[in-house]
């Protein structure tokens, strides 16, 4: 089925403005050509696999992972490559993107859920998860802080989040690369393949406007994630695409790094400076 309508406006073939409120509908329109387009982007799948591996999850029976904004399943496949045998809940707001994902062959532990990230409770998606991958999703959220807070809530203590995302704001060179690749390749190629450049113009704009690396790392810290690290990719995506890693803090009593003798010491009213330094 070819969908040519979104944001309440019948498609006319002319360009429309995509924003976070209409982005899932816009993906509906482009779902059929999505895999071909990303397949032509060198490193696309390899970089997703790298982000999933960087989560550092050791496979074990019963492991539960969440793929937020799974689209046609490229990030779901990356999770399964990094953690074979895991149970994966893959969520997306676009029915057409999910339709493309469901057509592929998946092991029995994979389930697809049609829901906005903002409506996970209503969709019955419940934690705790042993890891969350959000690939090219967070930039599209209207309220990124609320999105990160929800991800933290869904994780088991100590479990990792990987946000795989474009971020170019902190570097002139990254912004130049991004604008060049969009202007010369992504927008013209998208328009040629789909007859419409709307979502690709949105992609360009949303990346330019998205947090820089340090701002997004700070945002993760404010949301309550710890052990925050950022790594980039190779190819033209160097310092353009990043894995932002963080984990849900472990309650102090369960923290294996904490010496129990220290954990049991109470802070005296005079403050920490009064503690015996030999403890």
- We find the least distance from the C-beta atom of residue 260 to ligand SAM, in angstroms, to be 42
Question: Which C-beta is closer to ligand SAM: that of 92 or that of 211?
Answer: 92
Report in angstroms the alpha-carbon separations of 60 from 63, 86, 109: 6, 8, 13
* Nearest residue (CB) to ligand SAM, 202 versus 225: 202
Helix or strand run (H / E) with residue 67: strand 64-68
* Largest Cα–Cα separation, the chain: 74
Q: Are strands 241-247 and 226-232 parallel, antiparallel or unpaired?
A: antiparallel
Provide, rounded to whole angstroms, the least separation between the CB of residue 28 and ligand SAM.
8
Which single residue brings its beta carbon nearest to ligand SAM?
A: 71
Chain residues that interact with ligand SAM, rule: CB under 6 A? 23-24, 27, 48, 69-71, 74-75, 92-94, 97, 116-118, 135-137, 140-141
Q: Which of 71, 160 has the CB closer to ligand SAM?
A: 71
Beta strands, E only, 137-248:
160-166, 226-232, 241-247
Contact 178, 223 (CB under 8 A): no
Q: Report in angstroms how near the CB of residue 126 gets to ligand SAM at its nearest.
A: 16
Q: How far is the CB of 71 from ligand SAM (least distance, A)?
A: 3
Q: How far is CA 61 from CA 56, 83, 84, in A?
A: 16, 11, 10
Nearer to ligand SAM, 103 or 277 (CB): 103
């Amino acid at each position: 089925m070819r969908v040519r309508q979104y944001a309440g406006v019948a498609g006319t073939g002319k360009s429309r403005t995509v924003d976070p409120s209409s982005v899932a509908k816009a993906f509906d329109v482009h779902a059929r050509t999505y895999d071909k387009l990303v397949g032509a982007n060198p490193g696309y799948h390899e970089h997703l696999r790298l982000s999933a591996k960087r989560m550092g999850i050791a496979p074990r029976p019963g492991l539960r992972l969440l793929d937020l904004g799974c689209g046609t399943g490229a990030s779901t496949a990356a999770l399964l490559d990094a953690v074979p045998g895991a149970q994966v809940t893959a969520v997306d707001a676009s029915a057409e993107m999910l339709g493309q994902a469901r057509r592929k062959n998946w092991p029995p532990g994979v389930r697809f859920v049609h829901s906005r990230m903002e409506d996970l409770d209503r969709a019955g998606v419940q934690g705790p998860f042993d890891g969350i991958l959000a690939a090219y999703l967070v930039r599209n959220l209207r309220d990124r802080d609320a999105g990160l807070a929800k991800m933290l809530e869904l994780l088991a203590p100590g479990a990792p989040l990987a946000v795989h995302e474009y971020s170019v704001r902190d570097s002139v060179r990254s912004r130049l690369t991004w604008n060049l690749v969009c202007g010369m390749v992504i927008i013209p190629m998208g328009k040629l393949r789909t007859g419409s450049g709307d979502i690709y113009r949105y992609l360009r704009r949303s990346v330019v406007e998205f947090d820089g690396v340090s701002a997004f790392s700070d945002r993760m810290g404010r949301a309550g994630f710890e052990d925050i690290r950022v790594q980039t990719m190779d190819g033209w995506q160097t310092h353009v695409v990043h894995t932002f890693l963080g984990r849900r803090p472990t309650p102090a009593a369960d923290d294996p790094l904490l010496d129990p003798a220290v954990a049991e010491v109470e802070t005296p009213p005079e403050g920490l400076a009064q503690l015996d330094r030999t403890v």
